[in-house]
A = this chain, B = another copy of it.
């Protein structure tokens, strides 16, 4: 199937993918009098007296805003808010289909950090949570951090934490298959945007001792000029051997390659220089850093990509529906590292992994429940 052509046809035929529906009957005058005036006045009055009742008397408790400024759409880059909408509508229907969450896409016409933060504050009374999406780094780090501190509903940036959680789950299961100890791995992460930084942070939190983060200018090390604040911080916790140089040099001897960068960056010969039977997650979309057959030929033990048409798809869509189901059901505000790790483990342990299936399929209906159950408050 030509996904591009067929997808364009589908979107044109249906004119988008979401719709708003009523949960109540609206046929008679009495239906109207209860759902709307005059009856609704009693509901508004009750919430006016006790704002917390909005969680019980409106759809808020099940409602998530998917917010994007369109600056980092998939692997396509900054195409603007209008172009982000098809992706966000896609996320919205995945939210509903897999987790029963009502998510509504708001693609907004600004790239200003303060304006985006303020926008989220303005809509807080209407939602139970916020899913940030496809907002470019490094702005996304500031936005997420500020909103986590300043809002009373959970805020999640899928490109950061969604990716980090699904990569951790994939890595846990790759280790189960290959009988490796995750803490002893030497891991190279190629790409230091939203995903790369968040993966690095979560793996450090998991006690992975040896990580090298590589951006377009080469390995990040403590003291490298030109680093932004977020990379400066990461540099202090990674690249212990202080390797200076490009991917070609940094990849030597690594057990794991995690690519969240661009297509075709990882060469056959580079894999040859890695540790024996390395694990390769080539997650660039739509073109992976190396094609699976090439990576396997070069000696990789396990290869994952972001794509649905290869084995071992490592995709955020495995995480966000169940995560928000759990957050909303338990009215949890802060997505702690403990929650992220629990979710990654829950996701990993939904299956007995094999070389060709280290993660469950997105269509696997068990995943959401397993993840939602793993989302718990810890005191």
Contacts and interface: CB of A to CB of B under 8 A. Distances in A.
A73 B87 contact: no
Contact of A37 (B61, B119, B306): B306
Interface in A11-53: 11-12, 14-24, 26-30, 32-48, 51, 53
A17 B8 contact: no
A355 interface: no
Interface stretch (A90-98, A137-145, A188-196, A245-253): A90-98
A105 interface: yes
A162 B107 CA distance: 28
B16 A23 contact: yes
A185 interface: no
A229 interface: no
A285 interface: yes
A10 interface: yes
A318 to B, nearest CB: 11
Contact of A15 (B11, B30, B61, B118): B61
Contacts of A108: 122-123, 125-126
Interface string A198-229: 00000000000000000000000000000000
Contact of A57 (B34, B86, B95): B86
Given A37-B285, A37-B308, A44-B83, 13 more contacts: A3-B33, A3-B38, A6-B39, A11-B57, A16-B62, A17-B59, A19-B96, A26-B94, A33-B308, A37-B306, A44-B79, A48-B82, A107-B125
6 contacts: A1-B30, A18-B59, A41-B74, A85-B125, A104-B104, A108-B123
Interface of A: 1, 3-8, 10-12, 14-24, 26-30, 32-48, 51, 53-54, 56-63, 73-76, 79-87, 89-97, 102-110, 115, 118-119, 121-126, 285-286, 306-309, 315, 317, 361-363
